[in-house]
Amino acid sequence: MSELFSAVDALVASRSPLPPPAERRRLRQAHALTLDEVAAALGVRRATVGDWEMGKTEPRPPQREAYAHLLKQLTQLYPAPENTDAGASGEERPDTGPAPLSASSAPSGAAPEAAAPAPPVASTAADASTAADASTAADASPVVGAAAPAPPAPSGPAPSVRPSPPSRRPSGAKAAPAAAPVAGGAYAHGPLLVLDADAERNVTGYGAGGLIVDVPAKSLPALVEWTLAEGRLGAERLHGSGKDADPLLVLTEAACERYGLPAELSHEERLAGRLAEGHKVVKQLQRAEWQLTRRGLGPWARIYRPAQGGRRRCVQVCVPSWHALDDRAWGHAARLEPAELARVLGVYADRVMTPVGSTAVTGLHLMTALNPPTRASEPDADGRRHREHRPGSLGTEPMDPAPCEAPDGHPVLAGLPRFHVRGPGEKLFEEAYDWAREMTDEECMRRHLVGIDVNLAFGAAANGAVVGLASPPEHVTKPTFDAAVPGSWLVDLSHVDLNRVKVGKQWRDLDAGLLPSPFTPTGRPPEGPAWYATPTVAYAVELGYDVTPLQAWVRRESGRFLDGWYKRLRDAYVATMADLGVSEKLPPAEFLSAMDGYRSRDPQVALVLGAVKMTVKGGIGKLQERARGGGWKPGQAWPALARPTWRPDIRATVISRARINMHRKMLALAAATGQYPVAVLSDCAVYAADGPSPLDVLPYGADGKTVPGSFRLGVSPGMVKHEGTQSMLWGADVLERLAGDGHVANLARYVKTGEVTAKDTGE
């Protein structure tokens, strides 16, 4: 009988009643819970909870009962207001007539105060002739702009929301679907606005979820004031000890002209990276007591006043026409219509974070946002709290690298002779692969050259990486190697024989001349003692060889600092690929089919994908940002060194892991099939094959499984996709054209498109 009652209880729990999606979000925000916290408690992904709150999916057992219990408790703590309007709930209201007049559009002679303030209702920015069309567009779009509950809602009137102005798209152009509306609250209008101005100098803000608002500000200082007082822009913090994201304003060329800014920077201003200090708009900000950071009023600017009562007063400004959105990361995003650009940036802001600069700068900031250096302490005797170091973070102070880890020109190398060139015995050379070899006669008889590329290779390498934290490097002579200790090791690995290595637990005989060495980025075997990061030395041990370091710089305080960063970007990448029709766990053939033309399914979302990938790559690169500008001299410090996140040792660890991961997969494939790469460039490997598909390189059985430990086709980071295929005749031509003294052209550099630039040919 008890089993029957248990079955009935389970049946009831599987249908546990839940409040509407908008109410779920309101309750979470009312209790200052983040999506990550709810997801962790329920054992699901952050995006899953977001989908529940947007009504895209419904929770299933066993999470449904627990989720319903959470919401029931929160409902008792935070009852719904009796007169909840659309602005509070985040839901669209039925169209009952014209939108209320804003102060700027009141009839002549009417006092501005008499106009009823419009609630923050999200109207679609895409052109649509019917409400059904608009609804369809919204349903097809990604979720953007999670609102944050921490700060109180502005006390002033909500910005006016008005119908969409006539589109400037060419006749017949397809309107981009709007993203789902954002919720109400302090950040009811999402993380950002793209501002545009019409011929009458009226300014319109385009936000996430298709939101369109009137912007009454007549000057840049007034715009900043309006944004902080009435704009309802921003995003909730990504970590409980972190900070909410500052609002972002993106100015089109028309908006620049409206606020007295040039549509484009002059040659001198481009070189300086900012407007001159004497520019009239800069002076306007100074008179209004707004401050600029050291980078001034440039493509990415931060306008702020000192914090009051622990509240930040800061607005980020982005000017695409000043080349703020680099084509290498954002493609043609800077040339999109305002509503389309708002959608692209809004999706990125929701899945990654609100941009604060280039994708590289944003990638670096994301590390700190997810792993803040400080936290609130426990109350002292007087009941006061203060900020203290947060374990697991990099802390708040910059740190000098070990001499072997420092790039040329760093102050710690000031004692070296001026023109001294450091070799592997003095400098850590942990870089990505750039290796190629001559093809064998058998390989030349094959018809195709097939390139396979590792998805988000540096992100996958960051996952699980143990790195040094807030303690400085410690020098040790004649250390015993410990794979669990992050650091740099001076060790001779020239004795490692790649003709006979351990693959898994078995010794295998291979042709070492057909594989790159795992210990150098050139793929050439080391010739003597050299500095290596911990993962590289650990791989020599994994291959079955003893290592005897001569000395080391180790870091005793360590942790997996980048795990949260990887997970955030991994989820962003996978979710964006799903929007483009490529989901996880597809069988190999279906995956390749889904990848065919995937970017063309939604070109705007494809722009987000490119930005996510560059955020990973650029964020890792920023860990060792070099000196820039003509005034710097070797031995002098440069601004990046003042950051706690200037950590070349962490960059070296990630790149070492990425290169070792690549070699491990190539080794497993060679041991199982006898196939060897002919070229490797970073995360792309090229193989000679009889057919044009990756399936002609990677052996898959009827059960859908392939060689353990080798390359696997799929969308997840660390798995591979098809980079491109060219004919063997093409490869022979490229090798002949680019042949040099002992030089073999790297076909992995050209296999994607087949195009070889004049720069590479020397023409």
Q: Which domains does the chain have, with CATH numbers?
A: 2-82 (1.10.260), 123-341 (no CATH), 403-431+463-558 (no CATH)
pLDDT exceeds cutoff 80 at 191: yes
pLDDT exceeds cutoff 80 at 161: no
- Start-to-end CA span in the chain (Å): 86
pLDDT of residue 31: 85
pLDDT of residue 56: 74
pLDDT exceeds cutoff 50 at 137: no
Please tell me the distance from the alpha carbon of residue 684 to that of residue 451, in angstroms, as a whole number: 7
Rank 104-118, 407-421, 484-498 by mean pLDDT and report only the highest.
484-498
pLDDT exceeds cutoff 80 at 124: no
Strand spans (E) along 256-386: 291-292, 300-308, 311-318, 374-376
pLDDT exceeds cutoff 90 at 165: no
Q: Tokens representing 98?
A: 């014209």
- Rounded mean pLDDT, 307-311: 75
In the block, residue with structure tokens 């997810």: 370
Q: Which residue has the higher pLDDT, 678 or 210?
A: 678
* Sequence-distant (≥ 6) Cβ neighbours of residue 611 within 8 angstroms: 329, 330, 333, 348, 352, 359
Least confident of 8-22, 447-461, 472-486, 741-755: 8-22
Q: Tokens representing 11?
A: 């049946």
What's the residue count for the chain? 763
Q: Tokens representing 274?
A: 């900012």
Question: Phi first, then psi: what are they for 151, rounded to 5°?
Answer: -80, 155
pLDDT of residue 159: 57
* Angstrom distances, CA of residue 17 to CA of 70, 166, 573: 12, 43, 33
pLDDT of residue 383: 78
Residue 351: pLDDT band with limits 50, 70, 90: very high
Residue 311: pLDDT band with limits 50, 70, 90: confident
pLDDT digits 0-9 by tens, 366-375: 999 999 999 9
- Rounded mean pLDDT, 573-599: 96
- Rounded mean pLDDT, 328-339: 96
* Angstrom distances, CA of residue 15 to CA of 18, 42, 74: 9, 17, 19
Q: Which residue has the higher pLDDT, 156 or 577?
A: 577
Q: Which residue has the higher pLDDT, 296 or 83?
A: 296
- Rounded mean pLDDT, 462-477: 96
- Rounded mean pLDDT, 739-744: 80
Q: How does 701-713 read in b/e, with b if 16+ C-beta sit within 10 Å?
A: eeeeebbeebbbb
pLDDT of residue 652: 98
pLDDT exceeds cutoff 50 at 552: yes
pLDDT of residue 12: 57
Type and span of the H or E element at 500 = strand 500-503
pLDDT of residue 339: 95
- Rounded mean pLDDT, 59-79: 89
pLDDT of residue 141: 37
pLDDT exceeds cutoff 60 at 97: no
pLDDT of residue 605: 97
- Rounded mean pLDDT, 432-450: 96
pLDDT of residue 169: 38
User: pTM of this prediction?
Assistant: 0.78
The percent of residues above 90 in pLDDT, for the chain, comes to 69
- Rounded mean pLDDT, 426-436: 97
**Mean pLDDT of all residues belonging to the chain:** 85
pLDDT exceeds cutoff 80 at 333: yes
- Rounded mean pLDDT, 411-440: 93
pLDDT digits 0-9 by tens, 386-404: 889 999 999 999 999 999 9
pLDDT exceeds cutoff 60 at 123: no
Asked if residue 247 lies in contact with residue 186, where contact means CB atoms within 8 angstroms, the answer is: no
Question: Phi first, then psi: what are they for 212, rounded to 5°?
Answer: -130, 125
The percent of residues above 70 in pLDDT, for the chain, comes to 83
pLDDT exceeds cutoff 60 at 156: no
pLDDT digits 0-9 by tens, 13-52: 556 789 998 889 888 877 878 887 898 899 888 778 877 8
DSSP string, 576-620: HHHHTT--TT--HHHHHHHHTTGGGG-HHHHHHHHHHHHHHHHHH
Residue 57: pLDDT band with limits 50, 70, 90: confident
pLDDT exceeds cutoff 90 at 106: no
